[in-house]
Amino acid sequence: DTAVSQTPKYLVTQMGNDKSIKCEQNLGHDTMYWYKQDSKKFLKIMFSYNNKELIINETVPNRFSPKSPDKAHLNLHINSLELGDSAVYFCASSHGGNTEAFFGQGTRLTVV
Amino acid sequence: AQSVTQLDSQVPVFEEAPVELRCNYSSSVSVYLFWYVQYPNQGLQLLLKYLSGSTLVKGINGFEAEFNKSQTSFHLRKPSVHISDTAEYFCAVSSPSFNKFYFGSGTKLNVKP
């Protein structure tokens, strides 16, 4: 049983396309996140949701739109993909800031 | 503002030698501290955490870290490394008021035979 699962693991697409990444956690956590890891391995917070409500939007372009249909799911939709969007995107969850975060395996997005 | 600094971007070490990966943080409030490991093409796995109590915490795979409040540090140590410890290591902080985890820039540990 995977605690935090995200799909797909790999995504190769052309510039201008729209794509989605799905994330589900079965840990009963109330907080979910999207992080972007660039080619230098730096992890940058994109969004944070608590009980389905957006808490943090860290200056992410409007082309990125997260959606949380319930506490266990946090999906990421990206419109009009650009070359600079190529990165590894990680979903994570936690009990607020009180415990560690559990991470998914990542989605490697390559825009060509 | 909060920040996490990992002073070494790369640490080469020979197998069976000891290693220390350094982490310093800056915060105006009390924080929780974490070390994560990332193997190639994988997600982040928790190595150990400090929430409260003893400042010396032990984690998986023989790693340990010591929280030093006065130095605002949380250095990671292992007395004898293995080839399989080759990976990227990330230090992170959080707090109930942050709503996110702040990560350092990572340290690549390269264990040589």
Task: Enumerate the residues of chain B whose CB falls inside 8 A of the CB of residue A87.
Answer: none
Host domain of residue B37: 3-112
* pLDDT of res. A1: 67
Residue of B nearest to A53 (CA): B99
User: Residue A97 above 90 pLDDT?
Assistant: no
Average of per-residue pLDDT across A64-87: 96
Which CATH architecture group holds A4-111? Sandwich (2.60)
Residues of A in contact with B41 (CB under 8 A): 106, 108
For residues A42 and A71, what is the distance between their CA atoms, to the nearest angstrom?
Answer: 27
- CATH number of the domain where residue B25 is located: 2.60.40.10
Given a cut of 90, whether residue B101 has pLDDT beyond it is yes
- Say how many domains are in chain B: 1
- Percent of chain B whose pLDDT exceeds 70: 100
- Report the candidate in B7, B20, B38 with the shortest Cα–Cα distance to residue A35: B38
Rounded Cα distance between B78 and B106, Å, is 17
Phi, psi of B3, rounded to the nearest 5 degrees = -155, 155
Burial (CB count <10 Å: 0-12, 13-18, 19+), residue B109: buried
Assign B66 a pLDDT band (cuts: 50, 70, 90): very high
Select from B41, B43, B98 the Cβ nearest to the Cβ of A90: B43
Please name the amino acid found at residue A25: Q
Distance of alpha carbon B47 from its chain centroid, rounded?
Answer: 8
pLDDT above 90 for A69: yes
Q: How confident is the model at residue A94 (pLDDT cuts 50, 70, 90)?
A: very high
Residue B29 is predicted with a pLDDT of 86
What was the pLDDT predicted at A65?
96
| Shortest alpha-carbon distance between residue B30 and chain A (Å) | 12
Predicted pLDDT of residue A39: 92
At B14 the pLDDT is 98
Q: Span B60-78, mean pLDDT?
A: 96
> Would you list the domain boundaries of chain A?
4-111
Q: For residue B112, is pLDDT > 80?
A: yes
Q: Which residues of A touch B (CB under 8 A)?
A: 4, 31, 33, 40-43, 45, 48, 50, 55-56, 58, 90, 92, 94, 96-106, 108
Tokens of B53: 């109590």
How confident is the model over B85-94, as a mean pLDDT? 96
